[in-house]
Amino acid sequence: MNLKNKKIVVTGGAMGIGKATCKRLLAEGAIVTIWDFNKTELSKTENELKLLGKVFCHQCDVTDKNRVNELSKIAIQEMGQVDVLINNAGVVYGGELLERSDEDWEKTIDVNLTSLIYTIKAFLPGMYERNFGHIINISSASATIGVPGLAVYTATKWGVWGLTESLRFEAYNNGKTGVKYSTIHPSYIAHGLFEGAKLGFPGNLIAPLIKDHDVIAKAIVESALKKGRYSPKRPLTVNLNLRLRGLMPDSWFQRLIILLGIPESMKSWKGHKH
């Protein structure tokens, strides 16, 4: 996809991966609408990004279906249409299942998975009508393996991948092959929501920490949008999770996960504690 003058909505666009992605999109000549829950960061980002191109910013809790529907209409009014939706908004609560309240886990599911139903339903009819569009959903490397201390988060990211793949085939069945879908699968990023989390030796040699959010922004813009890749994974070695799972007996694969230090990876986590 040529991104010049494409109209794009980015959820959770005021910080982290979302903000880095918006910078790349504006550099490509796209017109961008940013939704974010954090009013303060949204204002800062608006002041910064409006110097780079045409950008609209609105405070949005993506778990509020009525607000999503309201802002989707505003996005279409302001930009004319929406060609690309990037579902980036997400929340992380670390800790074992019994260590957090039901409310924390419910919020994790609502933000990371349920909200995608609202945002996609808001923009998909227009994409179907034009038989053109691309929906990017941020999944995770944890969608390929189980990660203790991230059980509910991991479940949502497996769900995001399954939802996206199913919708891709729904578009195919409906003859809407001009509507594309991609998932993005980042491993641990050195700063931000997953600060402190890391694989043990030798896992950190195979899948080192991602140095900054722009690595993932580049995967979104260059690999998913411009090249049409279905599920870019960063680092690329995350692909080994799927290949080895398919080739090895399950008991061997589980032992390999332990050897790589994945079960211990969240013990050093010191990201946002909420």
216 vs 239, more confident: 216
Tell me the H-state helices in the chain.
16-27, 39-49, 65-79, 102-109, 115-130, 151-173, 203-206, 213-218, 239-247, 250-259
How many Cβ atoms from other residues are within 10 Å of residue 169's Cβ?
A: 10
Instruction: Quote the pLDDT of residue 274.
Output: 43
Which candidate, 32, 39, 35, places its Cα nearest to that of 11? 35
> Of these residues, 153, 172, 181, 188, which one is catalytic?
153
Q: Which helix (H) or strand (E) holds 85?
A: strand 84-87
Question: Annotated catalytic, 230?
Answer: no
Percent of the chain with pLDDT over 90: 80
**140 Cβ contact partners less than 8 Å away, ≥ 6 residues apart:** 153, 154, 157, 160, 185, 186
Helix, strand, or coil (residue 73): helix
Q: What is the pLDDT of residues 109-144, one digit of tens each?
A: 999 999 999 999 999 999 999 999 999 999 999 999
- Please report, as a single letter, which amino acid is at residue 37: F
Return the percent helix, strand and coil in the chain, to nearest 5: 50, 15, 35
Q: What is the pLDDT of residues 160-215, one digit of tens each?
A: 999 999 999 999 999 999 999 999 999 988 777 777 777 777 777 777 778 899 99
Instruction: Quote the pLDDT of residue 188.
Output: 81
pTM for the model: 0.93
Instruction: Quote the pLDDT of residue 271.
Output: 64
How many Cβ atoms from other residues are within 10 Å of residue 61's Cβ?
A: 15
Q: pLDDT band for position 230 (50/70/90)?
A: very high
Query: Which CATH fold would you assign to the domain 7-264?
Result: Rossmann fold (3.40.50)
Mean pLDDT of 58-83: 98
Mean pLDDT of 18-28: 98
Q: Would strands 7-11 and 31-36 be described as parallel, antiparallel, or unpaired?
A: parallel
Domain residue ranges in the chain: 7-264
Q: What is the pLDDT of residues 39-58, one digit of tens each?
A: 999 999 999 999 999 999 99
State the residue for tokens 């690999």.
223
